[in-house]
A and B are shown apart, each in its own frame.
Chain A
Amino acid sequence: MKKHGLYTGRTKMADVVATNHTLILAMPRLGIALGFGERSVQEICHEKGLPVEFVLLIFNVYTFDDYLPDEEELAATDFGPLVPYLEASHRYYLNERLPHIERHLLHVAGSAGERYGTILKCFFEDYRKEVVEHFESEERDVFPYMEGLLHGGQKVERLPSHFADNHTDLVDKLKDLTQILYKYIPSEGFEEELNELVFAILQLSADLEKHAVLEERVLLPYIQQLERRQADEA
């Protein structure tokens, strides 16, 4: 089934990022870098050895809020690179985005006075811990299970039932932090630092939201599809 308006293999890569520049930040996780020339998505995927349908799925999920692949599309997509992509996303959030936010937050905490500073730092530290725990549990329990299903030789017995429980919580907390920054932190004398911090948080929160869609509404249904198929074969 052909869907209108979505990116296709023939869309020029430069046009993709022109319509959604936030994808520039997701592309390194796929091993794609700027300097596309006039090449299309499928040309670049072939060069990089990436399955075109998979890359398009990522681009479309990130760009079109109400886009979700249907059963047929899921079945027709090579999800080999999905777990490496999700793992790369985890590394990116932990090693780049959170430290980036932390730098700005420490600036703001330093300028806002001790009372505000302490509260902000505590909130952020708790948040970071929660993110680390969340990612660790996925990498320990969910991803090996998925890889087992994909490549045979199942390593994990079954999917932990709590998967996808606290994705919304991770996004909500970031949004709450922006609300607090908008409303309750006096910014006199460090307005720009506060703006920088807010934008850094908004960017991560938008990225995490799409990450959650990929895990909950693409990875999970795909796992269920694979499980059904295995059950049918057994």
Chain B
Amino acid sequence: MKPKIQVLVAEPSDIIREGLRSLLDEDDFVLQAPLRDLPLDAPQRIARQQPDVLIMNPTLLNKPSRMQLVSIQQARTSMVVVALVYEYVEPELLSQFKTVLDIREKGSRVAQLLRDCCQEEREEDEGYELSERETEVLVLLAKGCSSKEIADKLNISVHTVNTHRKNITRKTGIKSVAGLAVYAMLHNLVVG
């Protein structure tokens, strides 16, 4: 079973907090006791409660406490901080958030949006080393095999090969087969 996603909401409006709670009323979410504002001990609370996602009204950062987003993020670096936006927010401030949840977003999409963010965060956490399987796929690509041929050789589906390819590109920053071949040569995975 997939791990549950711990969600913390920081939002002054009762109506919006309640709305979010009902939209996230699904098995894979756990909602922690929400915050109405950002108390001075917010970083400590976050460090204690370990939420995976913080959905936060960015205007809370402008309040007298002058809390910096960076100190909230530092309390838990793997936490995805989502800006919940329903009024004008300076783009500069907004750009510090991992993603933006617009108040006009379709209710049915909200849960999936959060799942996708967490998934991305987890993938980035895996680091940039190629796994053994990915290395095998890379070597075959470098030798000029098509996805279909690789699937046959490794006894996996073409879909899985393509997932490996996507991960290889994400980790190396290299898209083209020619570029991957160079990567393989430079890492002594194939003979040039």
Contacts and interface: CB of A to CB of B under 8 A. Distances in A.
Interface of A: 115-116, 118-119, 122-123, 126-127, 169, 172-173, 175-177, 179-180, 183-185
A116 B175 CA distance: 20
B144 interface: no
B171 to A, nearest CB: 11
Contacts, number: 44
Given A118-B192, A119-B192, A176 B185 contact: no
Contacts of A180: 174, 179, 182-183, 186
B183 A184 contact: yes
A175 B186 contact: no
B178 interface: yes
B74 interface: no
Contacts of A175: 175
Given A127-B178, A176-B180, A179-B173, 4 more contacts: A119-B185, A126-B178, A176-B173, A179-B172
19 contacts: A116-B186, A119-B192, A122-B192, A123-B178, A123-B179, A169-B176, A172-B176, A173-B178, A173-B179, A176-B173, A176-B174, A176-B175, A176-B176, A176-B179, A179-B172, A179-B174, A180-B183, A183-B173, A184-B183
Interface on chain A toward B: helix, strand, loop, or mixed SS?
helix
Nearest to B192: A119
A123 B176 CA distance: 11
Interface string B137-179: 0000000000000000000000000000000000011111011
Interface residues of B, number: 14
Contacts of B180: 176
B121 to A, nearest CB: 23
Contacts of A179: 172-174, 179
Contacts of A119: 182, 185-186, 192
A83 to B, nearest CB: 28
A172 B186 contact: no
B172 A173 contact: no
Nearest to B187: A184
Contacts of A123: 178-179, 182
A9 B157 CA distance: 56
B179 A177 contact: yes
Nearest to A118: B192
B183 A173 contact: no
Contacts of A169: 176
B192 A176 contact: no
* Shortest 8 CB-CB contacts between residues of A and residues of B: A176-B179, A179-B173, A172-B175, A176-B174, A173-B176, A184-B186, A172-B176, A176-B176
B186 A176 contact: no
B180 to A, nearest CB: 8
Contacts of A118: 192
Contacts of B172: 179
